[in-house]
């Protein structure tokens, strides 16, 4: 057989296998994430003074811990702790400031809950200190591209890493969104990030992908990502989606962010039915209801 033809057929076979794959067991530092059997709900814990939705409600350790415990009670499978707002137009904070915000919370929280804690950061030093403090997952909005030491930290700590696609920075991403076909650009960028991870020694089974809804995408591009989410399955990794109360939802519904819950829940249902394994949300109780129903429908058989 012609070598090029064999490689082409083998590649197509691999892609088909990826599309058909439903289940992923992702080893974390706090047990295995059995993704696909149920949709995991990741509760957002912003310990920042300028979150686009939470504002400064959880900017004290006591309020942050109380809210995290409440989300666990409501059914959160993962708590995602972040110390820097990545809303459109946000200014970056220093590494020292971010560490000061998140590490005390993670230390306290890790002693009170058994659920995995993820650290939402693109800074390698912050991620490293967070893992030392009790976090067990790295959630990198920079896709391992903003801090090239991040892949090494993920490999050395053996923590699963969520690799997100983002165009630009929070300051510029909505001024200069993707100009061409959105899915091919996302796939191309994520392949580059995955290569960086694997080259650094990150185990393939510990990689999770996030197409980065709202991060350098137009309203229409966000909708296309949700509609064609299964395209990401071609890469063979579990998928995380974060649409919670994002601007495009309020724009479509002509509502402020505080009234965009139902629109958010609609996007979650679409995402789950199209292949999402984890949803990242502000409103845990409502999200758990939605994904539980979607899982029941998706897993039903005649």
Burial-class residue 163 by CB neighbours within 10 Å (0-12, 13-18, 19+). buried
More confident residue, 36 or 90: 36
Tell me: the pLDDT tens digits for 175-192?
Answer: 555 667 899 999 999 999
Tell me: the pLDDT tens digits for 207-226?
Answer: 999 999 999 899 999 999 99
Q: Among this protein's residues, is 166 annotated catalytic?
A: no
Q: Give the burial string for 258-291 (b: 16+ CB within 10 Å, else e).
A: eebbebbbbbbbbbbebbbbbbbbbbbebbbebb
Q: Assign 48 a pLDDT band (cuts: 50, 70, 90).
A: confident
Q: Among this protein's residues, is 179 annotated catalytic?
A: no
Q: How far is the CA of 159 from the CAs of 43, 156, 197, 233, in angstroms?
A: 19, 8, 12, 22
Q: Assign 6 a pLDDT band (cuts: 50, 70, 90).
A: very low
DSSP 233-247: GGG-S-BEE--TT-H
Residue 10 in this model has a pLDDT that exceeds 60? no
Q: Assign 50 a pLDDT band (cuts: 50, 70, 90).
A: low
The CA distance from 71 to 194, in Å, is 31
34: β partners:
25
The CA distance from 15 to 68, in Å, is 38
Residue spans per domain, the chain: 24-298
The CA distance from 158 to 152, in Å, is 10
Could you say which of 11, 280, 285, 298 is catalytic? 280
Mean pLDDT of 26-37: 93
Could you say which of 246, 247, 254, 298 is catalytic? 246
Mean pLDDT of 70-79: 98
Tokens of 226: 């949700």
Strand 240-241 and strand 161-164: the pairing is unpaired
Q: Which of 76, 75, 74, 66 is nearest to 44 (CA)?
A: 76
DSSP 25: E
Tell me: the pLDDT tens digits for 251-299?
Answer: 999 999 999 999 999 999 999 999 999 999 999 999 999 999 999 999 8
Task: Quote the CATH superfamily of domain 24-298.
Answer: Dihydropteroate synthase-like (3.20.20.20)
Residue 11: its pLDDT value, please?
59
Q: What phi and psi values does residue 137 have, to the nearest 5 degrees?
A: -140, 140
Residue 168: its pLDDT value, please?
61
Residue 55: its pLDDT value, please?
47
């Amino acid at each position: 057989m012609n070598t090029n033809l064999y490689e082409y057929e083998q590649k197509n076979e691999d892609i088909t296998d990826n599309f058909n794959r439903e289940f992923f067991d992702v080893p974390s530092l706090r047990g295995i994430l059995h993704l696909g059997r149920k949709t995991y709900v990741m509760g957002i814990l912003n310990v920042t003074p300028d979150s686009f939705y939470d504002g400064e409600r959880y900017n004290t350790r006591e309020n942050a811990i109380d809210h995290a415990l409440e989300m666990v009670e409501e059914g959160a499978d993962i708590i995602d702790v972040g110390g820097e707002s990545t809303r459109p137009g946000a200014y970056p904070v220093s590494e020292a400031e971010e560490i000061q915000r998140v590490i005390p919370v993670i230390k306290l929280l890790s002693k009170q809950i058994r659920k995995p804690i993820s650290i939402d950061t693109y800074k390698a030093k912050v991620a490293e200190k967070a893992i030392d403090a009790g976090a067990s997952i790295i959630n990198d909005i920079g896709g391992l591209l903003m801090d090239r030491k991040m892949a090494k930290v993920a490999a050395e700590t053996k923590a699963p890493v969520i690799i997100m696609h983002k165009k630009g920075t929070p300051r510029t991403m909505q001024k200069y969104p993707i100009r061409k076909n959105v899915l091919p650009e996302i796939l191309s960028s994520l392949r580059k990030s995955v290569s960086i991870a694997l080259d650094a020694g990150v185990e393939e089974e510990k990689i999770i992908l996030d197409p980065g809804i709202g991060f350098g995408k137009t309203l229409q591009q966000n909708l296309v990502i949700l509609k064609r989410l299964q395209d990401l399955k071609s890469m063979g990794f579990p998928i995380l989606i974060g649409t919670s109360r994002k601007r495009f939802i309020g724009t479509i519904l002509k509502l402020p962010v505080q009234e965009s819950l139902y629109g958010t829940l609609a996007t979650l249902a679409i995402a789950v039915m199209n292949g999402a394994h984890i949803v990242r949300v502000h409103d845990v109780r409502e999200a758990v209801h939605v994904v539980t129903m979607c899982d029941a429908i998706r897993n039903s058989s005649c």
